[in-house]
């Protein structure tokens, strides 16, 4: 059961990243003190193209 809860939590955190919530919100929701605590879910995030990253950094939605 503990393993299943870990997967559910990881899926939920990935969904928060996909929704583009601020990292500070995700860190607080995850209950971790550093970004390192979230590093294990990074392989499950879709890559962002250079063009998409540039658009988002300019404030595009």
CA 58 to chain centre: 20
CA proximity to 38, closest of 60, 17, 59, 61: 17
How would residue 51 be classed by pLDDT, with cut points 50, 70 and 90?
very high
Residue ranges covered by each domain of the chain: 2-57
User: pLDDT over 90 for what percent of the chain?
Assistant: 36
Are the beta carbons of 23 and 38 closer than 8 angstroms?
no
Judge whether 41 and 14 are in contact, CB under 8 Å. Answer: yes
Six-digit token string for 51: 């063009």
Report the predicted TM-score, pTM, of the whole model to 2 decimal places: 0.72
At 23-42, the pLDDT tens digits run 889 999 888 888 888 888 88
């Amino acid at each position: 059961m503990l393993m299943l809860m870990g997967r559910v939590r990881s899926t939920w955190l990935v969904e928060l990243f996909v929704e583009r919530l601020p990292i500070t919100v995700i860190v607080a929701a995850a209950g971790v003190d550093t970004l390192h605590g979230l590093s294990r879910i990074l392989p499950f995030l879709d890559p962002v193209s250079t063009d998409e990253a540039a658009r988002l950094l300019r404030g595009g939605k």
